Amino acid sequence: MTGFNPCTLAEAGVTVAKALGNADLWTQDRDRVVETVNKCRNEWFNQYSRRKLFFDASYCVCVSCYSEGCGGVCSSGNFHGFSLPGDMDAVTEIYESGEPITIRSQHREAHAGLGPHGRWTEAVEIAKHFPTQRDPAFGSKLKVFAESPQDSKKKVTIKVVSEGVNLTLVFTLQGDGWVTVDKPVDSIESVVLPNGLAGRILLAQTDGRELSEYDPVELVPSYRRYKLQQPCDASALLIRGTKRYRDIWCDTDLVEIGDKLVIDATARHFRYSESSDRKELQTAQFWLTKMNGYLDGVTARSRGGAIQDGTMDKGRPVTKRTRLPGYGATSRRP
> Residue 7 above 70 pLDDT?
yes
Q: Which residues of 109-141 are buried (b: 16+ CB within 10 A; e: fewer)?
A: eeeebebeeeeebbbbbbeeebbbbbbbeeebb
105-149: per-residue pLDDT in tens? 655 444 555 444 445 567 888 878 899 999 999 999 999 999 999
Residues 156 and 12 reside in one and the same domain: no
Cβ(298)–Cβ(259) below 8 Å: yes
Residues 210 and 149 reside in one and the same domain: yes
Residue 193 belongs to some domain of the structure? yes
> How many structural domains comprise the chain?
3
Using CA of residue 244, residue 245, residue 248, residue 251, what is the dihedral sign? positive
Residue 156 belongs to some domain of the structure? yes
70-109: per-residue pLDDT in tens? 654 444 567 888 888 877 888 888 888 777 887 876 554 4
Instruction: Give the whole-angstrom CA distance, residue 4 versus residue 12.
Output: 14
148-205: per-residue pLDDT in tens? 999 999 999 999 999 989 999 999 999 878 999 999 999 999 999 999 898 889 999 9
Residues 203 and 149 reside in one and the same domain: yes
pTM: 0.66
Average pLDDT, the chain: 82
Residue 230: the pLDDT is 66
Residue 309: the pLDDT is 45
Helix, strand or coil, per DSSP, at residue 320: coil
Residue 190 belongs to some domain of the structure? yes
How many CB atoms are located within 10 Å of the residue 103 CB? Answer: 21
Residue 219 belongs to some domain of the structure? no
Residue 178 belongs to some domain of the structure? yes
Residue 205 belongs to some domain of the structure? yes
What domain range is 26 assigned to?
A: 7-46+251-301
Residue 330 belongs to some domain of the structure? no
Residue 225 belongs to some domain of the structure? no
Residues 239 and 118 reside in one and the same domain: yes
Residues 158 and 37 reside in one and the same domain: no
Residues 144 and 286 reside in one and the same domain: no
* Span 297-302, average pLDDT: 79
Residues 122 and 237 reside in one and the same domain: yes
Residue 229: the pLDDT is 74
Residues 38 and 147 reside in one and the same domain: no
